[in-house]
Amino acid sequence: MDRMLYVAMSGATETLKAQTANNHNLANASTTGFRADLAAFQSQSVKGAGYGTRAYATNSSVGFDATSGAMQSTGRDLDVAIQGSGYIAVQGRDGREAYTRAGNLRVDPTGQLMTAAGLQVMGDAGPISVPPNASLLVGTDGTISIVPQGQGPETRSVVGRIKLVDPPTSQLVRSDAGVFRLKDGTDAPASASVHLGSGMLESSNVNLADTMVNMIELARRYDLQVKAMRTAEDNGAASAQLLKNG
């Protein structure tokens, strides 16, 4: 009975973890540039003294879905979307460089170029600062040019260039803040092959229908595992009663 109970118990615990990851994806179905988390179940043998046949289920993250989301036109000058692979470099809350696909940018009251999440956008020489301007344009290579306040179009000048990177997906890991970093803790080099589209945003790549179906499937799987635990308990009680009567 212990084998059946152990498998069902560990399966129910890990199913709850899978449901958490699935619900996290569901909650971010409308988050700009979000990459869906991927998780998988596998069996593991129980290590240590005991029967070699004892096993338990585990659920763990196997990375994230790197496919691009749909492009949505906004017409806003500071909305940018990466065309193909690549990431925008930002400064994380811990001061270290991180990477994101969310291109809904803004300029704060102090002139700092920020993401919608409040992270500073990185340029070739650190965080980008934008002077007061009459108009702003983001080029396909990340170059930011402005027309100073009170000046004509002929005075347009470059104030910085967004750092764009394209590290292999296998080298990236998502942090708790939702941004990506290299697994080895280093900073990715700038890449000239990454291009931006202006006046558009990339939507989340979460498939809403699949995520809803997965949520229902995980809920049913959890119910089955709880029933298996109850069955194991009932069988154990029945066995004990037979031994007592014997």
- pLDDT tens-digit map of 12-31: 888 888 898 899 999 999 99
pTM for this prediction: 0.81
Share the mean pLDDT of the chain.
Answer: 87
Selected residue with higher pLDDT from 112 and 233? 112
44 and 137 both lie in a single domain: no
pLDDT-derived band at 219, boundaries 50, 70, 90: very high
pLDDT-derived band at 246, boundaries 50, 70, 90: low
pLDDT at res. 8: 80
- pLDDT tens-digit map of 232-243: 777 777 777 777
pLDDT at res. 17: 86
112 and 154 both lie in a single domain: yes
57 and 104 both lie in a single domain: no
81 and 189 both lie in a single domain: yes
56 and 170 both lie in a single domain: no
> How would DSSP label each residue in the chain?
-HHHHHHHHHHHHHHHHHHHHHHHHHHTTTSTT---EEEEEEEEEPPSSS-TT-EEEEEEEEEE------EEE---TTBEEEESS-EEEEE-TTSSEEEE---BEEE-TTSBEEETTSPEEEETTEE-B---EEEEEE-TTSEEEEEETT--GGG-EEEEEB-EE---GGGEEE-TTS-EEETTSPPPPB-TT-EEEETEEEPP---HHHHHHHHHHHHHHHHHHHHHHHHHHHHHHHHHHHHHH-
75 and 161 both lie in a single domain: yes
**Count of domains in the chain?**
2
pLDDT at res. 53: 62
**Containing structural domain, residue 10:** 2-66+206-245
- pLDDT tens-digit map of 37-71: 888 776 667 676 666 666 666 777 778 888 999 99
169 and 222 both lie in a single domain: no
163 and 175 both lie in a single domain: yes
100 and 191 both lie in a single domain: yes
